[in-house]
């Protein structure tokens, strides 16, 4: 009996130590530095889609696309269909071989590759007046591309076959005169199951939402800074089925940090300011890292992070980026910016 009790005591002690050790190891993790990665391009990169910590695609000015399959040690790159005057400001990747890129401005086009970028097929040609801002996908089949209002209505097109074909919505939401979207980071629309959220800026900064896959839409106002063409929401991220975070500000006044983050705690129905420190300037991209419950926001004046769902923010440095994205595998955070800049976030 004494031997049994002694053995049980050792086992309990080992398990208790392991539990405490594990808890201490992850109790207060912090974001570290951005680990800058050499790329073979100098274009401004606003399109970014990390699939895993090894497979990452990016796109941007001068028709540029690039892809790594070894975490940035080497890159494959080129110009989409020879379109070296077109800015592909958003890209959605599903694997090392398949990705979709959308242009901002004219021509309004969407291209798709299934062979790792060797060949790109044009899968959508918009109207002459279209200005697309980005894409948002529910999964590897169902996705949406969105653009500025035309004749008082937002431009929304949908795919149900992974981007091979696209259909223009017959019932997009109505826009306010002087309202528009921002093609800064490809993230003013997010999708969660049947729920779609589309953010705006300019004269007003609103959230348009649909809880039935875009069949019907409603709109709600936000307290984000607004009123000028350079002001409003520039990026959205979903925490869970109740909580959503929007960041933005005024890109003409990038150091101004007033009213640059708003939160929803009721599935996008209402929005309110955060309660603590705001991000330290205009922020064009935001991403949620569920493994550690972090929110990371980036912009031209630096990076900020929140560990409490966006209520308060701490500055991580002044390195500027356009966009920040979490990998689809949820294992890493990546950012991209001007002059071919790409980085991954160190976790301490």
Region of residue 227 (phi > 0: left; psi between -120 and 50: alpha; otherwise: beta): left
Phi and psi torsions of 27, nearest 5°: -65, -45
According to DSSP, the residues that pair with 273 across neighbouring strands are: 262
Average of per-residue pLDDT across 222-251: 97
Q: In this model, does residue 311 exceed pLDDT 70? A: yes
What digits encode the pLDDT tens for the residues 255-292? 999 999 999 999 999 999 999 999 999 999 999 999 99
pLDDT attached to residue 10: 36
Q: Are the beta carbons of 42 and 340 closer than 8 angstroms?
A: yes
Q: pLDDT tier at 348 (50, 70, 90 boundaries)?
A: confident
Instruction: Return all residues near 118 (Cβ < 8 A) that are at least 6 apart.
Output: none
Cα atoms in the 13 Å half-sphere on the side-chain side of 146: 30
- Quick one: pLDDT at residue 197? 98
Measured in residues, the chain has a length of 348
- Averaged pLDDT, 38-56: 98
Report the alpha-carbon distance of residue 194 to residue 213 in Å, rounded: 5
Q: Give mean pLDDT, residues 131-140.
A: 97
Domains of the chain: 33-347 (2.130.10.10)
Instruction: Return mean pLDDT, the chain.
Output: 92
- How confident is the model at residue 342, as a pLDDT? 98
- When mean pLDDT is compared across 10-14, 63-67, 231-235, 240-244, the lowest value belongs to 10-14
- Label residue 109 left, alpha or beta by phi (over 0 means left) and psi (-120 to 50 means alpha): beta
Quick one: average pLDDT of 287-309? 96
Mean pLDDT of 181-202: 97
Q: What percentage of the chain reaches a pLDDT higher than 90?
A: 90
Residue-level pLDDT at 347: 86
Record the tokens describing residue 306, joined without a space: 């929140």
């Amino acid at each position: 009996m004494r031997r049994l009790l002694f053995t049980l005591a050792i086992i309990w002690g080992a398990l208790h130590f392991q539990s405490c050790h594990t808890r201490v190891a992850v109790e207060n993790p912090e974001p570290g530095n951005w680990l800058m990665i050499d790329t073979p391009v100098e274009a401004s990169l606003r399109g970014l889609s990390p699939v895993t910590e090894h497979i990452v695609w990016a796109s941007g000015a001068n028709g540029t696309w690039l892809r790594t399959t070894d975490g940035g040690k080497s890159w494959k790159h080129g110009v989409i269909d020879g379109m070296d005057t077109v800015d592909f400001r958003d890209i959605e990747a599903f694997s090392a071989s398949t990705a979709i890129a959308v242009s901002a401005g004219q021509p309004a086009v969407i291209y798709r590759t299934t062979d790792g970028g060797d060949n790109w097929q044009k899968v959508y040609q918009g109207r002459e007046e279209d200005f697309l801002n980005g894409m948002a996908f529910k999964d590897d089949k169902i996705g949406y591309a969105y653009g500025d209002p035309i004749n008082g209505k937002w431009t929304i097109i949908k795919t149900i076959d992974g981007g091979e074909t696209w259909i223009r919505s017959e019932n997009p939401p109505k826009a306010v005169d002087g309202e528009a979207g921002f093609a800064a980071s490809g993230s003013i629309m997010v999708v969660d199951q049947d729920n779609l959220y589309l953010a705006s800026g300019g004269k007003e900064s609103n959230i348009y939402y649909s809880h039935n896959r875009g069949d019907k839409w409603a709109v709600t106002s936000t307290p984000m800074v607004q009123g000028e063409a350079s002001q409003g929401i520039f990026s959205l991220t979903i925490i869970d089925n109740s909580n959503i975070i929007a960041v933005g500000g005024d890109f003409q006044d990038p150091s101004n940090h007033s009213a640059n983050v708003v939160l929803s705690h009721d599935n996008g129905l209402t929005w309110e300011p955060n309660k603590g420190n705001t991000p330290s300037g205009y922020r064009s991209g935001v991403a949620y890292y569920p493994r550690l419950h972090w929110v990371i926001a980036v912009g031209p004046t630096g990076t900020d992070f929140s560990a409490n769902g966006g209520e308060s923010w701490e500055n991580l440095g002044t390195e500027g980026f356009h966009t920040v994205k979490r990998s689809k595998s949820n294992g890493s955070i990546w950012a991209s910016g001007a002059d071919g800049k790409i980085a991954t976030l160190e976790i301490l």
